[in-house]
Structure 1
């Protein structure tokens, strides 16, 4: 266009452009009309308004997430690839097929990793001991599905047979102790942990976990850093990184399980998860969000442990300036994580939607744990978190309703665990149990117990049926006869604890509250639940055994009064 033409057009009102996305029209910029979103919006991080009923509603981050989801759907819709197992029986081929289609996609829960989707499949085809371990895990998982109850014994026998073959096949690798042999042992060890968790052999699973972490240290795949956290050694290959990652997830749930009492802390995470100043402006996947939240949870667990140790050593414990600064830094990290997670809010369905809500609930739990971390000497500090506990219960109730909508209610026999809903990663059971033992608002406690008892599945070390039983016992020991005189608040029923919505009820005194509650799941299979802790009545703060639950008799035996307590409160039915 020449200069005269340009001058001739000056002063005239430009024609209104009718094409282009809504966002570009509002901004009065030229739109390239890319589909489903224009690059003008995506390149600047804006939400594209779309073109009428077509496209739009995405940023560059949500577009990446949508495309990733579409790829996953395409992969899931493909017919299964038949894998040839040399010198294998029909039972072994069927077992491996079940593992690929059912076990591997389900057990990781909300945290998907390459260990499950890639490494374990490859190792199973290349290393017979790993294959036998996988077949044992597959048999246990398959035998616990509803509809297979009459074949459970057969699957258990198959699992033990493959388990024995795996152990026998690993013997040369234990002797060799080369890096290659140690990797095989670590992969099999991770499978054994999953296997024992599903079987309810929690002590055995912990033994495998401790042995696996010891091998990681011996191989120098991990080392302790200045902040007390074990991290992967720089320069690890993808195989070793995936192995460290799976053990880091197991160790995280182990520490959350034990966070209520003093113990030797061991934190493990990948270096790439570590909190940095160059945090992403948006998470591109749920896994990335989990990876960013894990270091924050580890920092909280460490702060809780340090405060508890100092309080035990110093009766006149005073919060140090360094601890306050650490708490403030973690608070900023949690706030940043929450803002960043907003970009994951898009139209989600099924497992992805539930995984997102589970993440947000763990963020709420992390804030409660952080806010109470520096007051280890009093349980009254948790009364300041009532609003957050109520918000946590709202989130978990929503998660429960979504699960019902997706899968529907199911009747599970008393003697059977629901493997279809069981995972080996952390889920909602840990948060519900924490709520019962730390929030002393009766109505909130009752709702948490109700949700615990609405499922019969396992989430790693967290058994919903067991933790509901323990939660009821903790409430029974703490409240005892405190609310009995009102005649309005609490009474034993066959269906559970009933609570009124009456306001202005007196708070449970600190002297009635249990501290540092520890649960030991004894036996393989588990046959006894031991409940330890400290009572505010004991001026010497001794750790005592409050009660034992015997699976065979189905009742608690209190150590202090040696009386059997059964019925609606504490019997696990």
Structure 2
């Protein structure tokens, strides 16, 4: 249906019935209307089905709970040479780079299959590919008085077309329309992150999460609707939901976004056996970790919300939920370590990068879980010094692996930005800098953070390192003036007796809440808001406004000389 045609009705059914303009009974894998007339049923596009799936070499395998659909590459039609060139870039650059080291079928199969049949998805990936190609070669600050260049115009045109083709799907409650809407929404979020339109990206993400939440409510009554199946299923719906969970966790780690996706609450997931649990793959380990992080973040959010409203808090209930998550982490982390030990993985490989990142996030999850019900008790983080050190050890390993000549060529293709859409090193490094009060450890993490040139979805390297540096300055102030610097060797030789090496930063210096208010784009202002307790039980709120300095290529305090 062409934009502006005036028709808004979405016709469902197999391709054959839609081409014949007759009502389809939507039988699976082939509709009975086609079979009864001897015609070949061409299936339901990216959602599978069709005569070809009845062959013994079928790509659809029935299981007890769901169908596993494996797609073959499908040619994608484009209208002109500009679209063809952009599609080629997306196929060989964007779709390879953006997922990072945790590739899965959403990028390798679903996006391309959807783009081959759904115009909304096709134009969305063209807009994404165009923005990704343009990133890094133009000014980050939009000029208000200058017409967008040719590439930006192309991006906006494709963006507009995607929205136009998406409109009919909004009025339909069919599962296929929901999936198209969710897919397109995911692409829009990543597109806006790349363009530096943070607030717009979060708005898109919230819209998608809300649609997921509504779909979850409907799925309780519709047995065949599998969007909210358990993790680790290999299906279209599982790929979509996993992509949303990854973006959701990524934004929540920065304190952004809403708290939809209620299905990741710990009381909605099946219990994990305490004995004999094992991961079958690194992908399965990542799926479980994402859900675990989501549960921790939700528990923390709910507890803090109650505390802010000064509502009655049933602490025992929260502690019980905390212990349940702790039990899961107690099972998952050993299973992850066994998987890592048993896998034959080359030391310099993307698989080892993925394993190292997972190790870091499991360590991070343990700290977050232990402290999530103690939002103002900043001394509690001192009990996790060994975990902070372990995170830094894994960060050094990560730096060693990724700096190798062979892997560098794989991870950093020429003439392309280093942006990825998935989780990487930024969230744990930022957490370490802001929560570890062992001065030399946090400063080592800060130096590490400042050397990272790339972006990870909402986590922009230049922005987050500037904010982290300012947090340290606010907290430490003049406390360590005149105190000799402590190096790593002396710390390790002191058997972790930290108080012998450096004075402990008093609680009165520590910030118990760090909030980041993101701008609409690089022309806007980033606001850092910190809260620190005072001796009279009151609180001090400290704010800093950052603006982007293009000549210095970093975010600086507004009014402060560079």
- If the length of structure 1 is used for normalisation, what is the TM-score? 0.70
Which position in structure 2 is the counterpart of 1:243? 240
Contact 2:73 2:112 survives alignment (8 Å): no
- Structure 1 segment 54-453 matched on structure 2, within 5 A: 84-86=75-77, 88-144=79-135, 154-176=150-172, 178-220=174-216, 232=228, 238-258=235-255, 267-269=262-264, 274-277=270-273, 281-312=277-308, 320-341=315-336, 342-345=338-341, 346-349=343-346, 350-406=349-405, 420-453=417-450
Matched position secondary structure for 1:327: helix
Alignment deviations for residues 244-271 of structure 1 (CA, whole Å, 9 cap, x no partner): 2221221121222218xx9857555499
Partners of 2:172 and 2:485 lie apart in 1 by 68
Matched position secondary structure for 2:443: helix
Matched position secondary structure for 1:455: coil
Cα separation, partners in 2 of 1:374 and 1:143, compared to 1, 3 Å: same
Contact 1:435 1:448 survives alignment (8 Å): yes
Query: How far 1:157 sits from its partner (Å)?
Result: 3.2
Which position in structure 1 is the counterpart of 2:451? 454
Cα separation, partners in 2 of 1:331 and 1:180, compared to 1, 3 Å: closer
The CA RMSD measured in Å over matched residues stands at 3.8
Query: How far 1:401 sits from its partner (Å)?
Result: 1.6
Alignment deviations for residues 29-49 of structure 1 (CA, whole Å, 9 cap, x no partner): xxxxxxxxxxxxxxxxxxxxx
Query: How far 1:519 sits from its partner (Å)?
Result: 0.6
Cα separation, partners in 2 of 1:360 and 1:180, compared to 1, 3 Å: same
Cα separation, partners in 2 of 1:87 and 1:203, compared to 1, 3 Å: closer
Query: How far 1:552 sits from its partner (Å)?
Result: 4.3
Alignment deviations for residues 68-113 of structure 1 (CA, whole Å, 9 cap, x no partner): xxxxxxxxxxxxx996444522222222222222222322224333
Structure number, greater radius of gyration: 1
Query: How far 1:427 sits from its partner (Å)?
Result: 1.1
Partners of 2:379 and 2:176 lie apart in 1 by 52
Partners of 2:464 and 2:218 lie apart in 1 by 33
Cα separation, partners in 2 of 1:356 and 1:305, compared to 1, 3 Å: same
Partners of 1:278 and 1:386 lie apart in 2 by 27
Query: How far 1:458 sits from its partner (Å)?
Result: 1.2
Contact 2:251 2:458 survives alignment (8 Å): yes
Query: How far 1:362 sits from its partner (Å)?
Result: 0.4
Which position in structure 1 is the counterpart of 2:471? 474
Partners of 1:85 and 1:442 lie apart in 2 by 54
Which consecutive residues of structure 1, in runs of 5 or more, have no partner in the other structure? 1-80, 225-230, 411-416, 491-500, 558-563, 568-573
How many residues are treated as equivalent by the alignment?
Answer: 456
Query: How far 1:243 sits from its partner (Å)?
Result: 2.2
Contact 1:222 1:232 survives alignment (8 Å): no
Cα separation, partners in 2 of 1:192 and 1:221, compared to 1, 3 Å: farther
Partners of 2:114 and 2:235 lie apart in 1 by 14
Partners of 1:408 and 1:293 lie apart in 2 by 25
Which position in structure 2 is the counterpart of 1:565? 560
Partners of 2:436 and 2:445 lie apart in 1 by 10
Partners of 2:352 and 2:544 lie apart in 1 by 39
Alignment deviations for residues 313-343 of structure 1 (CA, whole Å, 9 cap, x no partner): 669x999444444333333322321221212
- Structure 1 segment 492-531 matched on structure 2, within 5 A: 504-525=501-522, 527-531=524-528
Which position in structure 1 is the counterpart of 2:8? none
Which consecutive residues of structure 2, in runs of 5 or more, have no partner in the other structure? 1-71, 141-147, 221-226, 488-497
Query: How far 1:273 sits from its partner (Å)?
Result: 6.9
Query: How far 1:193 sits from its partner (Å)?
Result: 0.7
Partners of 2:178 and 2:307 lie apart in 1 by 41
Contact 1:529 1:548 survives alignment (8 Å): yes
Contact 1:283 1:340 survives alignment (8 Å): yes
Select the residue among 534, 552, 558 that pairs with 1:537.
534
Partners of 1:196 and 1:313 lie apart in 2 by 33
Matched position secondary structure for 1:424: coil
Partners of 2:461 and 2:197 lie apart in 1 by 15
Cα separation, partners in 2 of 1:200 and 1:352, compared to 1, 3 Å: same
Contact 1:255 1:266 survives alignment (8 Å): no
Which position in structure 2 is the counterpart of 1:556? 557
